[in-house]
Structures are given as structure tokens and as C-alpha cells.
């Protein structure tokens, strides 16, 4: 089965190819001729994920899956959420972290969660898969691996931030890997 993964992120592509095995021919956006920026104009993570997958199906006629992720902080009413990448007004990890820490400066409730939603569009019908990892936001960034909010997020049951973990350690418990595991199971059952 031919599938497009609506990403140009080579790392994500390699990761999912390994999970899917040889039953699937995985294509990038570039490989199907999609060079435009995919729309992400909804106000939810679920909505953006669906919007991207459905856009590829509608404009290119290719079965597709897309993901969207965000950090949801309880004390900030779920913010930054769908706006995680541009929370400081620009796509800047350090400034985004700075804004979160400033907003939580006088807050005792540091509960947060990372959420990924993957939408798979097969022959025009959409399916959704969610992965969540609960944790807390620490006061000072730690670690140099990972990206985004990884230096300030400690997953439940651990004492290291995502940025202090190896990629292999993080991949075993991350929100993205949990959502992808559900997608892979679904695809293997339907191939």
C-alpha cells in the first residue's frame, strides 16, 4: 500500500518507515509533488492534524497521514497547546520556553502533558490516533538533546527531562511514539 506521510522531517520519516516494515511504500510530500505549505489553521491539535491529511487526499488523491503535537499545561488552561511552536510569537524554542517559565513563575501547579494526534485519511475516510505523556514543567531547563519544550518537561515516573534522555529512551515513552504505535497497529490490521 502506498501512503504519504505529510512531513518533510527526515527523522520522523525514518522512524515511521522502521515501524511500518515492508508492506507499505511510504512517500514524502516532496515525492508526491506537494511543495506548498500545508494548512494548519484550526484552533486544535486534532483539527490541524486532520486538515493536513485531508488536504493531501483532496489535492493529490494519495492516502496520507499527518501529525500535530502540542504541550498542554494545566495551570495555563491547556496553553500553549495548538500554538506550542509559536507561543512566543515566533518559531523560537528558547523564547517559547522563556514565556512558559515566566507565566508559571508564581504557580505551584506544574502539571502538563504532551499530546500528539495523527490523522490517517484512507480513500477519503479519516481515522484519528492520539498519544499522550503526562508530566510536569520544571523551573530551570535541563539537558541538550531533543527540541522544543523538552528541556523543561519531566515525564511522569522519571526524574530526567526529555532533553536529558537519549533519543531511544524518549522514543519508548513519548507522545509521538504512542500515537504512531496505534497507527501502525491499525495499518497492519487493514493491509
Half-sphere exposure of residue 23: CA atoms within 13 angstroms, side-chain side: 9
- Determine the Cα–Cα distance for residues 177 and 130; give it in Å rounded to an integer: 10
Q: Is 68 a catalytic residue?
A: yes
The active-site residue, picked from 43, 67, 68, 145, is 68
Q: Judge contact between 113 and 132, C-beta under 8 A.
A: yes
* Element housing 47 (H / E): helix 45-60
DSSP-based helix, strand, coil % in the chain, nearest 5 = 40, 25, 35
The b/e string for 67-83 (b: 16+ C-beta within 10 A; e otherwise) is: bbbbbbbebbeebbbbe
Q: Judge contact between 121 and 58, C-beta under 8 A.
A: no
- Determine the Cα–Cα distance for residues 41 and 38; give it in Å rounded to an integer: 9
Residues annotated as catalytic (active site), given as ranges: 68
Amino acid at each position: 500500500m502506498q501512503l504519504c506521510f505529510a512531513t518533510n522531517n527526515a527523522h520522523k520519516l525514518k522512524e515511521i518507515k522502521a515501524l511500518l516494515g515492508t508492506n507499505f511504500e511510504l512517500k514524502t510530500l516532496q515525492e508526491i509533488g506537494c511543495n506548498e505549505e500545508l494548512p494548519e489553521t484550526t484552533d486544535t491539535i486534532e483539527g490541524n492534524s486532520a486538515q493536513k491529511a485531508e488536504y493531501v487526499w483532496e489535492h493529490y488523491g494519495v492516502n496520507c497521514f499527518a501529525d500535530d503535537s502540542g504541550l498542554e499545561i494545566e495551570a495555563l488552561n491547556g496553553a500553549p497547546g495548538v500554538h506550542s511552536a509559536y507561543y512566543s510569537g515566533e518559531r523560537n524554542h528558547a523564547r517559547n520556553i522563556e514565556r512558559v517559565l515566566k507565566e508559571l513563575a508564581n504557580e505551584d501547579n506544574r502539571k502538563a502533558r504532551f499530546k500528539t494526534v495523527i490523522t490517517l485519511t484512507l480513500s477519503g475516510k479519516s481515522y484519528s490516533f492520539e498519544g499522550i505523556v503526562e508530566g510536569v514543567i520544571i523551573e530551570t531547563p535541563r539537558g541538550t538533546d531533543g527540541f522544543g519544550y523538552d528541556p523543561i518537561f519531566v515525564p511522569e515516573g522519571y526524574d530526567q527531562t526529555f532533553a536529558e534522555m537519549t533519543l531511544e529512551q524518549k522514543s519508548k515513552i513519548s507522545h509521538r511514539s504512542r500515537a504512531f504505535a496505534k497507527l501502525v497497529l491499525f495499518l497492519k490490521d487493514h493491509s
